[in-house]
Every structure is written in C-alpha cells, then in structure tokens.
Structure 1
C-alpha cells in the first residue's frame, strides 16, 4: 500500500511529529511504502479560488511544493493527516494543503482511498479537538474515502507529555494494521 503522510507542525521534535514517526514505523514494518510531506517546511500557497485548475489547462496558477505532493496524493492508497491543534482545528499548514486538493477534486472524489487523522493538543478535554474531527469527517465523507481511524492525543502539550502515553502505540498499531 502507498501511504501519504501529511504533517503540519513546525516542531521537528514535537508531539504530532512523534506520532507521525510512530505511525510511519508501523506502516513500514508492515511493508507499506510511505511518503512524508512536512507542510510546515514546504512552500504551499493558499488556494485563492481562482478556478484556473478547473478550466483550460486544468493547472493551478501556483507553482510551489504542491507540484511535489500532487503525484503522491493521486497515487496514494491512504492519506494520513497529522496536525497539532493550536486553536480548535487542524493547523494552517495542513489546511492550506487540503484547500489545494481542489485542483485534483475530480480525481480524488470517489477514489478508493483510506484516510487517517492524528492530532495532538495540550487541553485535557476533547472539546478542543471537535473542530478538527468534524472537518476531517466532513472531508472524508465528501471525498467518499474510508475513515481508517483517528488518534486524538489530548494533554500532550510538549514531547514529554506524549512519550509515556498510549498515543504513540496507537499510531504505531494504526500504521502497522492499515
């Protein structure tokens, strides 16, 4: 299986990055091919809704790192979104990437793909994650992809918080059993 992991954190040794690493380790041990796209370290221009991608050449007007991501997105059997929650939803880096899915909408909608959401946040209640989960579930439903699972790591503000939690094992197992 080809798996695309899209991360959003600018913290290379942060909580969501650690979850991504755990997931990838499990997936690779199971024999899956993984491509990781760290959106916070890429040049991804936000979609401006100009509709150029839907007309004529059907190409996006922005020539940025989405050109690296798009082929991986189209051939992936599973797409994994890994984001910290800073303020009640996935972070802006992931959202910019998702908005740019629009250029490939006709190829993505109804494609036989699985999706996973992994989120980390400092709050001790799941209320802070409800926006991210709702956005993810709505997108998966619209795209007609199969929801393969959510790892919602609450009370994980800094790396030490997640190291001894059950969340890395959940991510690892999800990657191994996808």
Structure 2
C-alpha cells in the first residue's frame, strides 16, 4: 500500500495533480493507494511534550494527524509533495513531518542515541517539490526537508521530482514530461515495494 500526501493550500493545483500522476503509475501495477491533502485536515504541530517517548504514540492531540498514523504504519510506500514556500516545504508539510517524531525511540545516554520504529521494514518513498522559480537553488531546502526526515525514519527515497517554472493553478498538466516523470516514479515505487 502507498499513502501519498501533498501540502498545497490550493485545491486541484499543481501539487495535487502531480500526486495523482504518481498514484496513476502505482495503480498500473495494482497497488492500493491512499490520497491525502493536508489542507483538508485540522491538526496541530508537534509541541515537544515528549509524551510519545513513553507512550510510543502521539498522545498530546486527537486530531487530523491521528487519523494518518494507521495509514502510515500500514503503507510501505509514502509519497510527499510540497510546493516551495519561502525556500522550504509548506507549514502543513513541516507540521506533518514533525508529528512523525512519535516513531523515534531514544536511549538515556548523552548524546542520546535514537532509532526509528519504522526502520528495517523495506519502506520506500518518492518526494516532489514544485517551484515557480527558474533555478533549482531557489527551491532552497524543500527536498532536503522531506528527504532527510524520511531517511532518518527508515525510508529509502527512490525518486525525487523537482519541478521549476510553474505557478499557475493546474498548469502542470500541460507539461507531459513532468507528468510522465511523476507517473514513472509512482510505478517504480509500487514495483520496489
């Protein structure tokens, strides 16, 4: 199973459309998928309460993120797509990633050692970022902000999709090369699981 998550504030925009192209590729090989639009959920960012260290789950909140944890745990594949906001992922994506903190276990040593309860399970991911700027450097930390936490959690990121020079809502459908790259990323993800 693959859970695909996008964090654009715009409905049916470029991130949404790219996410659907990734899922179309996964469907070609018969993979079950879930589609999540973070703008449709109400959830709080991590507040660093550390209760999850003992509970092994986020117990501070009962919100939209709570509904995603079972999907994340059941899905061996994960897709994260974000537009570039101020050289980074959107606030919705950042809050989502921070709430994944509950999957870490820590030692009592200093500095603290850590491990992820999602690691060692063959989890794989695809990440994508969409920017209106012309240069990849203007994407800033967007791809890193998704890749690094996913790798720390135990995912192998098998594909990164960088999209430049797109802003107008839904215009990505006019770029067959990008849509094909996204479709192939989804197909490759499904085949790798």
The answer on 1:124 being equivalent to 2:134 is: yes
TM-score of the two chains, using structure 2 as the length reference: 0.85
- How far apart, in 1, do the equivalents of 2:38 and 2:170 lie? 23
CA contact (8 A) 1:111 1:143 kept: no
Report how many residues are paired. Answer: 177
The answer on 1:162 being equivalent to 2:161 is: no
Show the counterpart of 2:185: 174
Q: Return 5+ residue gaps in structure 2 as ranges.
A: 105-115
* SS class of match (1:117): strand
The answer on 1:18 being equivalent to 2:17 is: yes
- How far apart, in 1, do the equivalents of 2:146 and 2:72 lie? 16
Q: Deviations over 1:7-31 (max 9, x none)?
A: 1012112111110111111111221
Once the two structures are TM-superposed, the CA of residue 104 in structure 1 deviates from its matched residue by 2.2
Instruction: Kindly report structure 1 stretches of 4+ aligned residues shifted beyond 6 Å.
Output: none
Show the counterpart of 2:151: 141
Q: 1:20 to 1:57 in 2, by over 3 A?
A: closer
- How far apart, in 1, do the equivalents of 2:56 and 2:38 lie? 26
- How far apart, in 1, do the equivalents of 2:170 and 2:4 lie? 23
- How far apart, in 1, do the equivalents of 2:179 and 2:145 lie? 23
Q: Deviations over 1:28-47 (max 9, x none)?
A: 12211111121111011100
Show the counterpart of 2:36: 37
Q: Which has the larger radius of gyration?
A: 2
